[in-house]
Chain A
């Protein structure tokens, strides 16, 4: 039986096992060695929230402590990937991705296509996202829609420790650039994870709960909020099917469509801002390909179209909660023409 470890430990274990298995796997990022005001290697931090802790000494020379210059080390990681390495670069907060956008969407994402398949870019960019840590507007965003929009990038958002390990393993073995989103609020979440290595394929959504009344499509942290809502709703006699997308690119359209064909009702739950988002994308998919099955308008539960507030009280109501999901589900369940 699988033992229980945290989401943070699951990512660490995937990195360690792949470094063990494949010498071309290297780790790069800020604060891998040394913390604030400390000399360096003895107290290797393993990144700002300790995800790569222990790897610095275990794999000498293969965990690179980078300067605070994202454009430099993300560019270096992408270059190393084109030259045969499999770098896993940690870009602390996704909010900082802007300074290296040319290298990500105009270079890494395009190489395989522009060189007729002769170049591959097996780079993984790990990054944290999401609100809830009182980190304000520049450290709390959910920018995965930006990356999902770009062909040539794969976008991964594990919700559980099991998925975090399997998807990270797949991300490292994958020959395309992968943006790997880790929700800050999930790092301490514990769950069963096999000790052995395994890779979870991209583009396979996970049905977390079966139900015939309403389909809830969610991702990342919102999967757990949706499950909480589904449990409350079950007590009230409404059975929800909760789908975790796991990856937004590639997207598992079939699982979403098959579920909606059964329920006829859809609520999409997404922590990101509501415009041009995964929530709108899933809504459009269902409107286009499962229109005939719909028995109510699609509901979206998302953050508002504002920056993440710094005020604790405002941040708390900014993040979608179970009550809002319950309300949305009831709305579609009770909808009549």
Chain B
């Protein structure tokens, strides 16, 4: 019965544990024409606040989810349709969607990516995969992050690829021992996870320290990497925000940590209390403090960067296509360093700081998918 031209805007699933989200503001209104990537609404979960961007173009004909109500993940929150779809059809579709929201979270809420563990280099490494059969994408987080850093990307990309995210040693639920903390050790961990997944080749996406790790893994074995997407990678210049890094490693309380975490984003209001609490809970796990301080020595020599990704990229010598994505408002590593990534396709992202994959996920996703397509 439903008209195929009516497109549903659904509550996104941002992260493993998200079951409901709450709309705090509808940015677009009924009757507005929207294009792909336009901001539709601000959404708050218990973990994080974010902006939902339009995945389809058309006229926003009906808004279904009210501001402030709990909406189960993947239920329809609005309807996009061309002007010639009748009001009656839209009202019928809206009533159906309303009933789903009112029913609340289903008993057997669909699980997100299943968490698996592999033994790599004597460490327990956690990773989670989801999505279609086909090209494998492995997401590698940065310093102090974990696989949930990709919460805005992993599920959406799973529509087209098999998408994995891992916890590097010292992070998330992986072993907290980081040994010498070298980029080489981290790169071996990444290759070990590819073995555990059982794939020969994958597209690597690395953020910040994870970017340097992705490059080092590629340099170890270029045949195993189909494409390389680097998001604000470390190792392409001297300059880095040393006070951010030391502040993150040293913060013991919420009061100390919150302003530090704020420096990651262009829009500091994204830093919810829950985000800070989750980071603090991570930092308080036994072994994390030592791991973060060891990795600080990997990243920095005094107040400047120690890692040299430029040399590693040169060694790969164009065998693997490279894309670089950088937030124009990055306050941790200057976006000008994108120029030093030799032979790369560059995307500079407006209104994003050091975490463009959290602040402008649709643009970053498009850049990654373009890189994958280009690699053929």
Residue from A198, A210, A254 within 8 A of B284 (CB atoms):
A198
**Measured between C-beta atoms, what is the minimum distance from B253 to chain A in Å?**
6
| Residue from B17, B252, B255 in contact with A1 in the complex, judged by beta carbons closer than 8 Å | B17
Please tell me if A296 contacts chain B, counting CB pairs below 8 Å: no
Shortest Cβ gap from A317 to chain B (Å): 33
| B15: nearest chain-A partner, CB-CB | A1
Q: Which residues of A contact B286 (CB under 8 A)?
A: 196-199
In the complex, are the beta carbons of B285 and A1 less than 8 A apart? no
A200 — which chain B residues lie within 8 A by C-beta?
284
A interface: dominant SS = loop
- Provided the pairs A1-B115, A201-B253, A204-B253 are in contact, do residues A196 and B285 lie with their beta carbons within 8 angstroms? yes
With both beta carbons as reference points, the residue of chain B lying nearest to A162 in the complex is identified as B281
Would you give the shortest CB distance from A26 to chain B, in whole angstroms?
21
Please, what's the 1-or-0 string for B280-310, where 1 marks a CB less than 8 Å from any CB in chain A? 0100111100000000000000000000000
The CA-CA distance from A254 to B254 in the complex, in Å, is 12
Which residue of A is nearest B148, CB measured?
A: A1
What is the bound-complex CA distance between A210 and B276, given in angstroms? 14
Contacts of A197 on B, CB cut-off 8 Å? Answer: 285-286
How many angstroms between the C-alpha atoms of A254 and B253 in the bound complex? 12
Q: Does B13 sit within 8 A of A, measured CB to CB?
A: no
What's the nearest-Cβ distance from chain B to residue A208, in Å? Answer: 10
**Which B residues from 171 to 227 make CB contacts under 8 A with A?**
173, 176
Let me know if B273 and A166 touch, CB within 8 A.
Answer: no
Is A198 in contact with B252, judged by CB distance below 8 angstroms? Answer: no
> Is A151 part of the binding interface, using a Cβ–Cβ cutoff of 8 Å?
no
Tell me which residues from 148 to 177 in chain A have a Cβ below 8 Å from any Cβ of chain B: 162, 166
User: Is there a chain B Cβ closer than 8 Å to A207's Cβ?
Assistant: yes
Are B284 and A1 interface neighbours, CB within 8 A?
Answer: no
Q: Mark B248-291, 1 if CB is under 8 A from A, else 0.
A: 00001111000000000000000001000000010011110000
Decide yes or no whether A194 CB sits under 8 A from chain B: yes
Q: Which of A162, A194, A204, A254 contacts B285, CB < 8 Å?
A: A194
In the assembly, what is the distance between CA of A146 and CA of B249, in Å?
38
User: Binary interface profile of A, 173-200, with partner B (CB < 8 Å = 1, else 0)?
Assistant: 0000000000000000000001111111
CB of A196 within 8 A of CB of B176, answer yes
Residue B16 CB within 8 A of the other chain = yes
A43 to B2 alpha-carbon distance, docked (Å): 63
A 286-327 binary contact with B (CB < 8 Å = 1; else 0): 000000000000000000000000000000000000000000
A201 to B115, alpha carbons, bound, how many Å?
30
**Contact indicator A194/B176 (Cβ below 8 Å):** no
* Chain A, range 202-229, C-beta contacts under 8 Å to B: 204, 207, 210
Chain B residues numbered 232-260 whose CB sits less than 8 Å from any CB in chain A: 252-255
- For A194, the closest partner residue in chain B by CB is B285
Residue contact A198 to B17, C-beta cutoff 8 Å: no
Residues of A within 8 A of B115 (CB): 1
A197 to B289, CA, bound (A): 13
> How far apart are A186's CB and chain B's nearest CB, in angstroms?
20
Q: How far is the CA of A178 from the CA of B16 in the complex (A)?
A: 37
CB <8 Å contact, B273 and A201: no
Residues of chain A within 8 A (CB-CB) of B255 are: 254
CB distance from A243 to the nearest CB of B (A): 12
Whether the Cβ atoms of A1 and B281 lie closer than 8 Å is no
Which of A194, A198, A207, A254 has the most C-beta atoms of chain B within 10 angstroms of its own C-beta? A198
- How near does chain A come to B308, taking the closest CB pair, in angstroms? 33
**Residues on the A chain within 8 Å of B17, using CB:** 1
Chain B interface residues toward A at CB < 8 A: 16-17, 115, 173, 176, 252-255, 273, 281, 284-287
23 pairs across A/B with beta carbons < 8 Å?
A1-B16, A1-B17, A1-B173, A162-B281, A166-B284, A194-B173, A194-B281, A194-B285, A196-B176, A196-B285, A196-B286, A196-B287, A197-B285, A197-B286, A198-B281, A198-B284, A198-B285, A198-B286, A199-B286, A204-B254, A207-B273, A210-B273, A254-B255
Chain A residues proximal to chain B, CB less than 8 Å? 1, 162, 166, 194-201, 204, 207, 210, 254
Query: 17 new A-B pairs (CB below 8 Å) besides A162-B281, A195-B173, A199-B284?
Result: A1-B16, A1-B115, A166-B284, A194-B281, A194-B285, A196-B285, A196-B286, A196-B287, A197-B286, A198-B284, A198-B285, A199-B286, A201-B252, A204-B253, A207-B273, A210-B273, A254-B255
